[in-house]
Amino acid sequence: MIIRDCMKREVFSIQQAATIQQAANMFVQHHIGTLPVVDEKNHLVGLLQLRDLLTLVMPDFIHLMENFDFIDDFGAVETKTPSPEVVSRQIGEVMGRAVSVEANCGLLRAFALLNHHRISDLPVVDRENVLIGIASRVDIGTALLANWYPKTEGYG
């Protein structure tokens, strides 16, 4: 099985010149965790993860702490909003590098890339690097599980 068989073909993407506020609105509106960043010809140029935006308002101590078990409530930190200067910045300043696979990529390679790059969604591109789909960790994992047993067996 290849990634084309399990990818979503409806992909929400954003251009590099868009603002962080525009990206935040898209994350909320479409309830997604990854926005592929594309140029004017829909070529993949980067990835914007939900965590990229959330870390803009997280206090620095969160990045340094390893054990949160003793903290019951983060209080005001959870309702903190970024300054107008932050949300007016362009996505190109905070996006990560473009990680993708071509449509004929095998599922295990795709899953390995997700793990290696610590991302939850993997953009799928054609030979010209044009964005054509996206596959989540769940899309790929369930496609792999579907091969474990014949489809005629009952479950549950």
pLDDT digits (tens, 9 = 90+) for 34-88: 999 999 999 999 999 998 888 887 655 454 445 445 455 555 555 667 788 888 9
Instruction: Give the per-residue pLDDT at 64.
Output: 45
Asked if residue 130 is part of any domain, the answer here is yes
Asked if residue 151 is part of any domain, the answer here is no
Asked if residue 153 is part of any domain, the answer here is no
Asked if residue 55 is part of any domain, the answer here is yes
Average pLDDT over residues 133-142: 96
Asked if residue 34 is part of any domain, the answer here is yes
Q: Could you tell me the pTM of the whole model? A: 0.81
Give me the CATH number covering residue 34.
3.10.580.10
Q: What percent of the chain has pLDDT over 90?
A: 65
Asked if residue 54 is part of any domain, the answer here is yes
Asked if residue 49 is part of any domain, the answer here is yes
How far apart CA 103 and CA 6 sit, in angstroms, is: 10
Q: Is the pLDDT of residue 27 over 80?
A: yes
What residue numbers bound the domain in which 100 lies? 3-146
Asked if residue 17 is part of any domain, the answer here is yes
Helix axes of 107-117 and 137-146: crossing angle, nearest 10 degrees = 150
Q: How many domains does the chain have?
A: 1
* 41, 45, 86 from 83: Cα distances, Å: 32, 26, 5
Q: What percent of the chain has pLDDT over 70?
A: 81
Q: Phi and psi of 105, rounded to 5°? A: -65, 140
Average pLDDT over residues 127-131: 97
